[in-house]
Amino acid sequence: MQKNVYGFYIPCSHVAILSAYSQQYNIDIESILAKYNLTFSDINTPNAIMTASKYTELLLDVDVAVHKHDFWFCFAKQLGFATYGVLGQAMLSCKNLQQAIKLLVKYYQVLSCGSELSCHDVDGFLSLNIYRQSAIESRDSIIRSELLVSTIKDGMSILLPDQGENLRFEFDYKKPNHHGFYHQYLNKNCIFSVKQSKILIPTDYLNRVSLHANPVMLKILTKQLDQLLTDIQGPKLIAAQVRTLIAAIPGSYPKIEKVAQKIGISPRTLSRRLNNNNTAFQRLVNEVKSQRASHYLKTTNLSIEQVATLTGFNDSANFRRAFTVWTGMTPSQFRKDSSGTVITSK
């Protein structure tokens, strides 16, 4: 456990809430915490945090122990924006829902290196897009999706007279066996197996005024968030941040200049920091492309040519050569081998 360090970390208050909730289902949470060298005292220490990756591992351990398919939806109701620390306080201080959502998008990386958010105006909606680094159909990815979407939905519902019945939810993974709970805890407007996970927020929701709007506090908290963003751009975390930005928009792979601009450093500095971490920008691009291509080949019926296009190749022959270097197999061989795993790109 670490304290007073932000960026790609989860507040231990989340673990404390999860611990209390888990005990209702006779889960031996104390043993799970011990696996991560945590005690009840540790997780209840003010300002204590743990890495997002370890938090995800802990969620998976709890998931194995629980036998309740709507567990993560229920747990999300125990969270809320207030548990997002400084970011949550800032969101609650915003004047309306639109300002809160844009604040969430801008500063979400102070909480997570496993997800990236963006928002876009789309045909009468504000589209809040959700990108994840882990494999789309993996259990940890689905758990984190359910938690994130439920928490955001519950937070928005406070401002909405209809509890958000006109929100739309789209998920990039297959419809799970427990999909009925998505309708119960979110709403009936849930669809699956789309290219991009997103929450579509009707524009008439966006100007709903917050009862807790406080422009003075918002200004103070935003300055704190700006400092936190600066603090998390250290060399140990730069590769995870770059990988997330590369993976942000399916089918689009930004140049190093664009990624460096988003981080706020020069391309030369970015290259140097990556080199200090024994990696390089193109290697991270290849890792993202390899993971994405492998997912399409294993879970869809898209042609090799279509997969090549979705992974940024204009020529399918070039894609086949690159994929063979990445995985040691041709795309066709990989597709036939249902147990094939992605090998780190060279």
pLDDT in tens, 28-80: 999 999 998 888 988 888 767 777 778 888 999 999 999 889 999 999 888 87
pLDDT bucket at 187, cuts 50 / 70 / 90: very high
Q: What's this model's pTM, rounded to 2 decimal places?
A: 0.66
| pLDDT at residue 32 in the model | 94
Q: Name residues whose C-beta falls within 8 Å of residue 123's C-beta, 6 or more positions apart in sequence.
A: none
Report whether pLDDT(95) > 60.
yes
Q: Name residues whose C-beta falls within 8 Å of residue 174's C-beta, 6 or more positions apart in sequence.
A: 137, 192, 193, 299
Q: State pLDDT tens for residues 140-156.
A: 889 989 988 998 898 88
pLDDT bucket at 212, cuts 50 / 70 / 90: confident
| pLDDT at residue 317 in the model | 93
pLDDT mean over 256-278: 83
* Beta carbons of 310 and 250 less than 8 angstroms apart: yes
Q: How many CB atoms lie within 10 A of CB 140?
A: 17
* Locus of tokens 């024994």: 278
Handedness of CA 237, 252, 133, 117 (dihedral sign): positive
Give the length of the chain.
346
Q: What is the mean pLDDT of the chain?
A: 84
Report whether pLDDT(234) > 70.
no
Report whether pLDDT(130) > 80.
yes
- Domains of the chain by residue range: 1-66, 68-232, 282-336
Task: Give the single-character DSSP code of 83.
Answer: G
| pLDDT at residue 108 in the model | 83
| pLDDT at residue 341 in the model | 42
272 residue type, one letter = R
Q: How far is CA 317 from CA 106, 291, 314, in A?
A: 39, 18, 9
| pLDDT at residue 237 in the model | 67
The token duo for 215 is: 């422009």
Report whether pLDDT(114) > 70.
no
Q: How far is CA 44 from CA 126, 172, 267, 334, in A?
A: 37, 35, 41, 47
For 60, list phi and psi in degrees, rounded to 5. -65, -40
Of 341 and 262, the one with more pLDDT? 262
Report whether pLDDT(250) > 90.
no
| pLDDT at residue 7 in the model | 43
pLDDT mean over 260-268: 81
12 residue type, one letter = C
Among 82-86, 153-157, 190-194, name the one with the lowest average pLDDT: 82-86
* Beta carbons of 205 and 168 less than 8 angstroms apart: no
- Of the candidates 161, 125, 132, the residue with the CA atom closest to the CA atom of residue 146: 132
For domain 282-336, the CATH architecture is Orthogonal Bundle (1.10)
Report whether pLDDT(104) > 70.
yes
| pLDDT at residue 211 in the model | 80
| pLDDT at residue 78 in the model | 87
pLDDT mean over 229-248: 70
| pLDDT at residue 1 in the model | 39
pLDDT mean over 196-217: 90
* Beta carbons of 109 and 8 less than 8 angstroms apart: yes
pLDDT mean over 177-205: 93
pLDDT bucket at 113, cuts 50 / 70 / 90: low
The token duo for 152 is: 């955001």
Report whether pLDDT(254) > 90.
no
Report whether pLDDT(318) > 80.
yes
| pLDDT at residue 232 in the model | 61
